[in-house]
Amino acid sequence: MTLRLSEHGLSRRTLLGGAAALSLASVLPAPFAWAQPLSAGPVMVGAIKVTPLFDGLYPLPLDIVPDAASPAGHELMKKMGAPAAGPIPIPVNAFAVEKAGRLVLIDSGTGAAGGADLGKAAGALAHAGLDRAKVEAIILTHLHVDHAGGAIGADGKAVFPNAELVVQHEEIEFWMDDGIRSRAPQGMDGFFGAARAVLAAYPKRVRAVTGAVELWPGLTAVPEPGHTPGHMGVMIADGVDSLIMWADIMHVGAMQFPHPDWSVLYDVNRTQAAETRARMLDRLTVERTPVMGSHLADRGVIERDGTGYHMVPVPA
Ligand SMILES: [Zn+2]
């Protein structure tokens, strides 16, 4: 490990840095079966329809998962069929949620900020026959660019004319804090710029929420601090049916299900992120609520597996 980490645990390599400029086609062996978009299609949760919007594959540099530089990590890379030196392509997903003719999004994808391999969520929304002008709200699990960047165009303007942004209050405070920004490593500055650009494009259309509140009918915030201070999952429930979108509890399921204590350098507070991950895994093993994620290729139920966990996919 040669990276120097800040108090926030972020490296100089960020999503806005050189990594995103890598072309996946040039680095991936073919066929690359495990790096698929969310394999499951739309699903009904009671009367709520949830449609995954695949934004693309992000080439995660291997050194973003420091624990992967280990015999166990090398084994997993081999098992995944990933190049030994990385990157690890991880899916980026946003989600459309429809209920009684109304439409909201959970996250918006990367938009123009992530290069050619990303930014496909807008196209996926149109392909699903959904009109961006009908989107009432974009529930942002946090303000990282692969979640919030799609809310604005390359020109920095809002692309959802009638949507409000719904974000945890703490999340906004963190990214808007000039003091924190000035102390953050240089490579992290792009994250601040991207978060602020999104908020600025929706003047008077940002709804800050606090804690485990209802975000929209049937959607409730699940605070998951650590990845970022105001990082949240979204519980979708109608009647006896429920499904949780846990956002960035994990970035590399193939590594973090067996090794839930492995964190990524994008976690603002890696210790807290690992605690939150452990708590969520524990809870969901007991509750057996199906899970989908911003960076999971499957939707499923979580079960214990030795000292770790695995996911049993559930079909649509
Ligand atoms: Zn993410």
Beta bridge partners of 292: 245
For residue 144, give its domain range: 18-225
Report the C-alpha gap between 195 and 190 in whole angstroms.
9
Q: Is residue 93 part of a domain?
A: yes
* 287-302 pLDDT, tens digit each: 999 999 999 988 999 9
- Tell me the CA–centroid distance for residue 58 and ligand 1, in Å: 10
Q: Is residue 294 part of a domain?
A: no
pLDDT at residue 212 is higher than 60: yes
pLDDT at residue 227 is higher than 90: yes
Q: How confident is the model at residue 167 (pLDDT cuts 50, 70, 90)?
A: very high
What residues flank ion ligand 1 with Cβ within 5 A? 146, 248, 294
| SS3 assignment, position 111 | helix
Q: Is residue 293 part of a domain?
A: no
Q: How confident is the model at residue 4 (pLDDT cuts 50, 70, 90)?
A: very low
* 106-134 pLDDT, tens digit each: 999 999 988 888 999 999 999 999 999 99
- Tell me the CA–centroid distance for residue 75 and ligand 1, in Å: 24
Indicate the pTM of the whole model: 0.90
The total number of structural domains in the chain stands at 1
Report the C-alpha gap between 238 and 240 in whole angstroms.
6
Q: Is residue 247 part of a domain?
A: no
Q: Is residue 10 part of a domain?
A: no
CA distances from 114 to 7, 111, 240, 271 (A): 26, 7, 38, 28
Q: How confident is the model at residue 186 (pLDDT cuts 50, 70, 90)?
A: confident
- Tell me the CA–centroid distance for residue 129 and ligand 1, in Å: 25
The pLDDT, as a whole number, for residue 51 is: 96
CATH code, 219: 3.60.15.10
pLDDT at residue 71 is higher than 60: yes
Tell me whether residue 2 is exposed, middle or buried, using C-beta atoms within 10 angstroms of its C-beta: 0 to 12, 13 to 18, 19 or more. Answer: exposed
Q: Is residue 282 part of a domain?
A: no
- Tell me the CA–centroid distance for residue 93 and ligand 1, in Å: 9
**Mean pLDDT value across residues 227-238:** 98
- Tell me the CA–centroid distance for residue 143 and ligand 1, in Å: 9
Q: Is residue 64 part of a domain?
A: yes
Q: Is residue 296 part of a domain?
A: no
- Tell me the CA–centroid distance for residue 145 and ligand 1, in Å: 8
pLDDT at residue 9 is higher than 50: no
